[in-house]
Amino acid sequence: MRNDGPRNILRRSLQVRHVDAGSCNGCESELAAITGPVYDAQRYGLDIVASPRHADVLTVSGPVTRQMAEALGRTHAAVGQPRLVVSVGDCAAGRCPFRGSYAAGEGVAAVLPVDAHIPGCPPAPAEIVQHLRALMRGPGPGQTAGQRG
Amino acid sequence: MSAAEPWSQSGAPLTIREADAGELAGAVTAALAVGARYLTAAAADERAVGGGFRLDHVFRFPDRPGLDVLRVRLPADRPEYPSLTPVLPAVHWDEREAQDLFGITPLGHPDPRRLVLPDDWPAGLHPLRKDVPWNVHPPCAAEPGWAPRLAGGEGVVFMPVGPVHAGIIESGHFAFSLMGETILHLDVRLFQKHRGVEKILEGRPWADAGDAVERTCAACSASHQAAWCEAVEQLVDWELPARGVYLRTILLECERLYNHLNDIAAIPAGTGFAVAAMEGSVLKEQMLRLQGAAFGHRYLFGTIRPGGVVRDLPTDDIAELRRRLARLRVRLGRLAQRMLRHPGFVDRLQGAGVLSRRTALDLGAVGPSARASAVAQDLRVDRPYLAYRAFAPMVVTEQAGDVGARLRLRFREAEVSFELLDRLLHGLPPGPCRREAPGGAERAEGLGIGCNESPRGANVHYVQLRAGRIERYRIRTASFANWPLLMEAVPGNLIGDFPLINKSFELCYACCDR
C-alpha cells in the first residue's frame, strides 16, 4: 500500500502545508482555527508550516481552479518524500457547485494522488483535527492495532 | 413598523434610462454631480435575442429610494465605447472584467491588461458570451506568464509573493517593488480563485441558485443570500412576514459581528501581539458556535431563502442567545481596552497603511475601509432595507484612515451590532418566518437588484430573469471594490507591515474572484 511508508514514519508529528485551490474561504477559516487557543492542535504534534519543504502533508481545499492548478502542482512537488495529500471540504472532493465550469476543476483527485479526505462544507475544526490525527495513527506495515502510536 | 405588517421588498422600483455610448461619460458625470453613488456595472450578451451587447451602470441617487440603471446598447460586431474610468475611477476593474468575459472594449482605459482571465487564456474567447459553453476548457500553458508592473531604477528589488502564501490565507499573487524595506509599488494578480460563479448560475431557475450564491464567499454568505433573495423578491412582488424580516436582519448582523471579531483578532496577530490575537480568535469561535447552534450552520449557509428565512428561532433560544451575546459583548469590551491602551501596539498601527479620504472617494471605497477614512456611507442607513428601516444603526466613522482607525472602527461597529442584535431579538415579532411564493413567481421576468451592507461594505447582486430562469447574474462585492485601495495604501510603508495593512482592509479573495 502506497500510504504505509509515510504513515509509519509520521506517527508522532504531522507538519501541514495548505493550498487554497479555489475555496469559498470557509475551509481556510476552519483550518486557521485548529492551531488557535480553542482547538490547539499543536498539542497533538500537528502544526501548520509556512513552507512546503517543511511539510509532511499537503492539505488542499477548493475544486482546483484553472489558475491554481499549476501552483498546486508545484507546491506538491516541493513537499519532500514521503508525503501525504489530504483534500479538505466537499469542493475538493468534487462536490462543488462550480465543478467543471470554464474556470473550476473537478476536485483535487483529478490532479494529485489523494491519500485522505476530510468531508464537510466546511468541515468543523474539531473534525479537521480528528482526521489529521487519524492519519498519524494509521497502522504501518507489520503493525497491529495495539501498536498504534 | 408594526409587528403584523407585511413587508415588501418591491417598494423601490428600478428606473432604467437608455443612453448612447457617446453620451455615457456625460450622463455619469451629471449623475455624480448631484451626489449619485455608483453601485455596480453589468454587461450582458443579447445577440441570441436579436440585440448586441448591453452595458448597465447602476447608481443610487440621494433623493430617491429606488436605484437608477444607465443602459447603453453596443453593436454585436463592434462592442466598444469610450472608457468611463477617467470620469468614474471606481469602474476601472469592472471595465477590465467585461473586456475579459464579454469582449467589450473600453476605449482609452488607462490599464487595459487582463484582470479575470489567466494570461494563457486564448484571445477572443470570452466565457460569459452566450455562444461559449459553460464548461469550455482551452489548454493551459505551463507558464501562465504574468508581467507585473514594477518600479524602475537602481537598487529597486522585485519581490514576488504567492499565489500560495505562508499562512492559511487565500490564493493571490503580489508583486512588490522594494527599495530596502520600503514598498515603492505593489501590483496584484488576483482571480486565481475565479470559479465562474456567474456562468454556473445562468440557465438555472431562480429558486435553485442558493447553493452557489451562498458559496461565493463563506465570510459574507448571509449577505450574498440576502442580496439574491432581495433581487428575486422585487421581481415577483413577494412580501416577507415581519418575523422573517427581523430574523434575516439578525443573520446579517451576526455575520458582521463574527467578521469584525475575526479582523480584530487578525490585526494584533500581524504585530506579534499574541495574547490579544488569541483572545480575539476565542471570541470569533464563540460567535461561530453560537451561529451553529442557533441557525444550523457556523457560516450561515442555507439560512436565507426567498420569502424569509429557513429556520425559526424557538422562544427559549432567544433568551439564551441574548445572554450569550451579552457575555461576548463584555469580553470584547475588555479586549478593546487591553488592545487600545497598549502604547506599543497602538504606536505600531498609527500611520500604517493610510488611505486618504480623497482616494477612498475617488476609487469608490466601501464599508469599514471607507468609514475609517471619514467617508460616512452605509447602505443600512443610506438605503434602508429589512429591519434597518425601523432600527437605523449609528454610522461610525474614523478620521485617520490608517490601520489603527480601521481597528477602532471595527470595535465601535461591533458595539453597534451588539446593541442592534439585542433590540432585534427583544422585539422579534410573532408569526411565520417565511411566506410562500406569490402566484406566477416561477415564470418571473425582468431585472432585479439586491444590495446590502456586508461586513466589508456594499454587496450588489444584479439578477436578470427570463421565464423564471437566470439570464445574467453579476455579483459586485465589497472586496472587488476595495482591493484596488490596497495598492494605494501600501507604498511608503515597510514590507514587514504589509500583512498588517492587508488584514486591516480584510479583503476577501473568494468573493472578489468569484
Q: Summarize pLDDT for B138-187 with one digit per residue, the tens.
A: 887 766 678 888 988 899 999 999 899 888 889 999 999 999 999 999 99
Using CB atoms, which residue from A75, A91, A102 is nearest to B127?
A102
Using CB atoms, which residue from B195, B262, B279 is nearest to A101?
B195
CA distance B445 to B396: 39
CA distance A18 to A49: 8
* In contact, A23 and A66? CB cutoff 8 Å: no
Is the Cα dihedral B363, B367, B372, B374 positive or negative? positive
Question: For residue B57, which amino acid is it?
Answer: H
Using the Cβ of B168 and the Cβ atoms of chain A, whether some distance falls under 8 Å is answered with yes
Using the Cβ of B202 and the Cβ atoms of chain A, whether some distance falls under 8 Å is answered with no
Overall average pLDDT of the B69-76 stretch: 94
CA distance B60 to B40: 10
Overall average pLDDT of the A49-68 stretch: 94
pLDDT tens for residues B396-453? 999 999 999 999 999 999 999 999 999 999 999 999 999 999 988 989 999 999 999 9
Q: What was the pLDDT predicted at B262?
A: 95
Using the Cβ of B140 and the Cβ atoms of chain A, whether some distance falls under 8 Å is answered with yes
The C-alpha of A7 sits at a distance from chain B's nearest C-alpha, in angstroms, of 24
Overall average pLDDT of the A24-39 stretch: 94
Instruction: Note whether residue A104 is domain-resident.
Output: yes
For testing contact with chain B, the best of A31, A51, A102, A132 (most B CBs within 10 A): A102
Q: How confident is the model at residue B3 (pLDDT cuts 50, 70, 90)?
A: very low
The H-or-E segment that residue B41 falls in is: strand B37-45
Overall average pLDDT of the A53-61 stretch: 95
Using the Cβ of A68 and the Cβ atoms of chain B, whether some distance falls under 8 Å is answered with yes
CA distance B14 to B282: 44
Overall average pLDDT of the A39-48 stretch: 93
Overall average pLDDT of the A35-52 stretch: 93
* In contact, B505 and B489? CB cutoff 8 Å: yes
Query: Is the Cβ pair B193, A101 closer than 8 Å?
Result: no
- pLDDT at residue B68 tops 50: yes
Q: Which residue is closest to A54 within chain B, CA to CA? A: B166
Contact list in B for residue A69 (CB cut-off 8 A) is 140
Q: How many other C-beta atoms lie within 10 A of the C-beta of residue A80?
A: 10
* In contact, B257 and B321? CB cutoff 8 Å: no
The C-alpha of A147 sits at a distance from chain B's nearest C-alpha, in angstroms, of 33
Query: Is the Cβ pair A65, B262 closer than 8 Å?
Result: no
High-pLDDT (> 90) share of chain B, %: 84
Contact list in B for residue A20 (CB cut-off 8 A) is 164, 168-171, 193, 509
pLDDT tens for residues B74-96? 999 999 999 999 999 999 999 99
Instruction: Note whether residue A76 is domain-resident.
Output: yes
How many domains does the structure of chain A reveal? 1
Q: What was the pLDDT predicted at B50?
A: 87
Instruction: Residue A13: give its domain's CATH number.
Output: 3.40.50.12280
CA distance B470 to B487: 35
Contact list in B for residue A67 (CB cut-off 8 A) is 118, 144, 163, 191-194
For B423, the 3-state DSSP assignment is helix
CA distance B66 to B159: 47
pLDDT tens for residues B461-478? 999 999 999 999 999 999
Which residue segment(s) compose the domain that A20 sits in?
Answer: 4-137
* In contact, A106 and A21? CB cutoff 8 Å: no
- The position carrying cell 479582523 is B263
Higher pLDDT, A142 or B386: B386
* In contact, B240 and B9? CB cutoff 8 Å: yes
* In contact, B223 and B454? CB cutoff 8 Å: yes
Query: Is the Cβ pair B215, A24 closer than 8 Å?
Result: yes
Q: Which residue is closest to A27 within chain B, CA to CA? A: B218
Using the Cβ of B275 and the Cβ atoms of chain A, whether some distance falls under 8 Å is answered with no
Task: Please provide residue A127's backbone torsions phi and psi, each rounded to the nearest 5 degrees.
Answer: -70, -40
CA distance B304 to B247: 9
Task: Decide: residue A65, CB within 10 A, 0-12 exposed, 13-18 middle, 19+ buried.
Answer: buried
* In contact, A24 and B218? CB cutoff 8 Å: yes
Query: Is the Cβ pair B278, A36 closer than 8 Å?
Result: yes
Contact list in A for residue B475 (CB cut-off 8 A) is none
Q: Which three cell numbers stand for residue A29?
A: 477559516
Q: How many other C-beta atoms lie within 10 A of the C-beta of residue A77?
A: 9
Homologous superfamily of B11-133: NADH:ubiquinone oxidoreductase Nqo5 subunit (3.30.460.80)
CA distance B385 to B230: 9
Q: How many other C-beta atoms lie within 10 A of the C-beta of residue B99?
A: 24
Q: What was the pLDDT predicted at B248?
A: 97
Q: How far is CA B321 from the centre of its chain?
A: 27
Using CB atoms, which residue from B140, B262, B285 is nearest to A69?
B140
The C-alpha of A6 sits at a distance from chain B's nearest C-alpha, in angstroms, of 23
CA distance B190 to B174: 8
Helices B92-102 and B478-489, interaxial angle, to 10°?
120
Using the Cβ of A20 and the Cβ atoms of chain B, whether some distance falls under 8 Å is answered with yes
Instruction: Note whether residue A58 is domain-resident.
Output: yes
- The position carrying cell 443579447 is B46
Q: What was the pLDDT predicted at B162?
A: 81
High-pLDDT (> 90) share of chain A, %: 73
Using CB atoms, which residue from B195, B219, B221 is nearest to A104?
B195
Instruction: Note whether residue A88 is domain-resident.
Output: yes
Contact list in B for residue A98 (CB cut-off 8 A) is 195-197, 200, 212, 215
CA distance to B216, B299, B317, B326, B491, per residue, from B293 (Å): 23, 11, 9, 16, 44
Query: Is the Cβ pair B168, A70 closer than 8 Å?
Result: no
Query: Is the Cβ pair A32, B167 closer than 8 Å?
Result: yes
CA distance to A89, B200, B214, B341, per residue, from B514 (Å): 18, 11, 11, 39
Using CB atoms, which residue from A50, A67, A122 is nearest to B166?
A50
The C-alpha of B242 sits at a distance from chain A's nearest C-alpha, in angstroms, of 30
pLDDT tens for residues B37-49? 999 999 999 999 8
Correct CATH for B197-513 of 1.10.3720.10, 1.10.645.10, 1.20.1740.10, 3.30.300.30 = 1.10.645.10
- Write down the domain spans for chain B: 11-133, 197-513
Strand segments, DSSP code E, in B75-155 are 80-82, 105-107
pLDDT tens for residues B13-64? 789 999 999 999 999 999 999 999 999 999 999 999 889 999 999 999 988 8
Using CB atoms, which residue from A36, A68, A102 is nearest to B171?
A68
The C-alpha of B317 sits at a distance from chain A's nearest C-alpha, in angstroms, of 22
Query: Is the Cβ pair B281, A38 closer than 8 Å?
Result: yes
| Pick from B146, B164, B477, B197: nearest CA to A103 | B197
Q: What was the pLDDT predicted at B4?
A: 35
Q: What was the pLDDT predicted at A9?
A: 64
Q: Give the angle A58-A61-A62 at the CA atoms, nearest 5°.
A: 140
For testing contact with chain B, the best of A25, A42, A72 (most B CBs within 10 A): A25
Q: What was the pLDDT predicted at B371?
A: 97
For B261, the 3-state DSSP assignment is helix
- pLDDT at residue B6 tops 60: no
- Of chain A residues 71-100, which have a CB less than 8 A from chain B? 71-72, 75, 91, 96-98, 100
CA distance to A3, B38, B39, B71, per residue, from B481 (Å): 46, 11, 9, 21
Using CB atoms, which residue from A75, A97, A100 is nearest to B164?
A75
For B446, the 3-state DSSP assignment is strand
Question: For residue A66, which amino acid is it?
Answer: R
pLDDT tens for residues A87-133? 999 999 999 999 999 999 999 999 999 999 999 999 999 999 999 99
pLDDT tens for residues B367-380? 999 999 999 999 99
